[in-house]
Structure 1
Amino acid sequence: MKFSAITTKLVMTTILCASFLGNAHAADALKMELTANQVIKNADGKTVYSPVRTAPVGTVIQYKATYTNTINKDINDLMVTLPIPINMTFTGEAQPTSAQASTDGKNYADMPLMKKVDGKMVKVPYSEYRTLRWNIKLLPAKKTAVVAINTTVDR
């Protein structure tokens, strides 16, 4: 099965947590643009990104969210979250690397996530990761911040 970036985009743009001081509302203060790009290694071994709407199984897709502070006031402690679509698996690559991950969308921890199996602590497989979040400590007035995750099309 192929993924649909349009469907994924609608789901992903609805998930945004913003908390900051002041009486500006997130809708007035923050603009988010989401892109989906296929991650391709060219002949020189360099990574290039190509816009994509559909892709076959095994394709690596990068979701990049650009957050723009549209007001003349800094935004502090901005929490942004990107879900990993059902038909995708997180590759382990996130930018910035300070992202925290969750298997349930509620409880977050630094990566790699760990769990106890047969009395031993083991890494949680990336296929179980469902969301990533970042705490952008400061987004200055009229500036942008970018977060990104790489995923692979599963089905």
Structure 2
Amino acid sequence: MKPFKFLRHALIAFTVSASLMNVSYAADALKMELQANKVVKTADGKISYIPASNAQKGETVQYRAIYTNTIDQPISDVAVTLPIPANMIFTGEAKPSSAQATIDGKNYADMPLVRKVDDKVVAIPLSEYKALRWNIKWLPANKLADVSLNTIVN
């Protein structure tokens, strides 16, 4: 299979949202930096990250967003969301682990997501996850919040 060139385009079109419950600073409070890196295990067993411009099917790609509070006051109740790109499957690994997930882009719940099938509660496959959201209760002035999720190229 050819390298996935869509990753470069996905980063351009990638929608990362931050909604502020205290909207007085919504326009300028957060600066976001998005990274997409292949997760590579080195010969000595350590993990390294390299740009994911040519990820192949089956490779792990980490999407990482760093949000910086750019104002001189703390902000509270910040919800930041990372969509899971098409052609990617969430691995179940997210940092911080307090992330909530959605399968419809609207309703978020703690992971693992479950549903009722034939009167039994079953886990929803990770392949159905569409986005993750983290609720950041407090972000001090000029500090950052770092969130990430791992995916596999499908």
User: Fold match, TM over 0.5?
Assistant: yes
Counterpart code for 2:126: Y
C-alpha separation between the residues in 2 aligned to 1:11 and 1:133?
18
TM-score normalised per structure 1: 0.93
Contact in 2 for aligned 1:40/1:48 (Cα 8 Å): yes
1:129 aligns with 2:129: yes
CA RMSD of aligned residues (A): 1.3
2:10 is aligned, of 8, 11, 15, to 8
Aligned-partner SS, 2:92: strand
Contact in 2 for aligned 1:90/1:126 (Cα 8 Å): yes
Aligned-partner SS, 1:27: coil
Contact in 2 for aligned 1:3/1:56 (Cα 8 Å): no
1:21 aligns with 2:15: no
Deviation at 1:22, TM superposition (A): 6.1
C-alpha separation between the residues in 1 aligned to 2:10 and 2:75?
27
TM-score normalised per structure 2: 0.93
Task: Evaluate the alpha carbon distance shift between residue 22 and residue 51 of structure 1 in structure 2; reply closer, same or farther with a 3 A threshold.
Answer: same
C-alpha separation between the residues in 1 aligned to 2:81 and 2:23?
21
Counterpart code for 2:7: A
1:39-81 per-residue CA deviation (whole Å, 9 max, x = no partner) reads 0111121111111212110010000000001000101000000
Q: Which runs of 5+ in 2 are unaligned?
A: none
Deviation at 1:20, TM superposition (A): 3.8
C-alpha separation between the residues in 2 aligned to 1:58 and 1:125?
17
Runs of 4+ in 1 over 6 A off after TM superposition: none
Aligned-partner SS, 2:17: coil
C-alpha separation between the residues in 2 aligned to 1:50 and 1:22?
36
Q: How is 1:54-73 mapped onto 2 (pairs within 5 angstroms)?
A: 54-73=54-73
* Percent identity of equivalent pairs: 55
Q: How is 1:66-85 mapped onto 2 (pairs within 5 angstroms)?
A: 66-85=66-85
